Structure 1
Amino acid sequence: MFRLGGMNKRLTRISKYLTFILRHEPQSIGLTLDADGFAPVEELVSKANESGKSITVEQVHQVVAGHEPPMFALSDDGQRIRVL
């Protein structure tokens, strides 16, 4: 079980959506993961919004920072995301 340290319900819903997309159905929004399982954050947000979700890059970063224990990883430059 995971805890979302101080995350509100909106961020919890975004976290669950990101987990589903990145782990199971990236193709459902037209997203392709690289060989290491990373997706560009900007592309993820753009494609999620095109598919009817309302997500910002800032919210993605809040979700990553709010997970205890960590559930997502950002690349060193912060431009790509993957599920751990």
Structure 2
Amino acid sequence: MNEQQKKKTSKFLSYVLRHHPELINLNLDENGWADVAELITKSKRDSYEDFTFEELDEIVQTNEKKRFAFNEDKTRIRASQGHSIDINLALIPQQPPEFLYHGTAENNIKSILENGIEKRNRQHVHLSQDKETATNVGMRHGKPIILTIKTQAMFEDGIEFYFSDNQVWLTDFVDKKYIAE
């Protein structure tokens, strides 16, 4: 599978596993896990994507953002985070570092500084451990702006944080008062 095909299949997997499993009539359990054989069969059946288990394994193992995870015996797969559908990732609340970063596009800044960072159609707000990752996130939608978030202060105020399998910090909302100047 060449890089272009891997990228195309990865985008398809994100779409199906994070947002629209009904596209291929895929069954996800309450924690977002899907049967690997069912995913492969239903993807081929409706001519959406045609990939083997080996190619799927390669995508899971080589995706630099670690968007997907297998269970221990690789019979089930799920998206690591970023869902717009209601699932329970069974994440355990954790204490974040003093600061985390949020990458966004310049055209979102006015709204964020007025209203805070909202999860919108996602289950969580995503925060990065470093500015480089936040910059890459922000670049997807225009000129990137990196915001420093006072996460220790949030935590001390009782706000919960989770750390996903693919190294992304998650929370429900970032009030504007926690955005560093």
* 1:34-53 superposed matches below 5 A: 34-52=29-47, 53=49
Question: Residue by residue, what CA displacement relative to the aligned partner does 1:18-70 show, whole Å, maximum 9, x if unpaired?
Answer: 00000111011010101110001110000000010211111111100011231
Match for 2:11: what amino acid? K
Please list every run of 5 or more consecutive structure 2 residues that lacks an aligned counterpart in the other structure: 81-181
Q: Distance in 1 between matches of 2:26 and 2:13?
A: 12
- Runs (4 or more) in structure 1 with deviation over 3 Å come to none
Q: CA RMSD in A?
A: 1.1
List alignment gaps of at least 5 residues for structure 1: 1-6
Out of 8, 12, 21, the position equivalent to 2:16 is: 21
CA distance in 2, matches of 1:54, 1:78: 19
The answer to whether residue 59 in structure 2 is matched with residue 59 in structure 1 is: no
Query: What TM-score, normalized to structure 2?
Result: 0.42
Letter in 2 for 1:40: D
| Structure of higher RCO (CA pairs closer than 8 Å, 6+ residues apart) | 1
Letter in 2 for 1:41: V
Q: Report the TM-score, using the length of structure 1 for normalisation.
A: 0.87
Larger Rg: 2
Q: Distance between the aligned counterparts of 1:34 and 1:81, measured in 2?
A: 11
Aligned length: 78
Percent identity over the alignment? 35
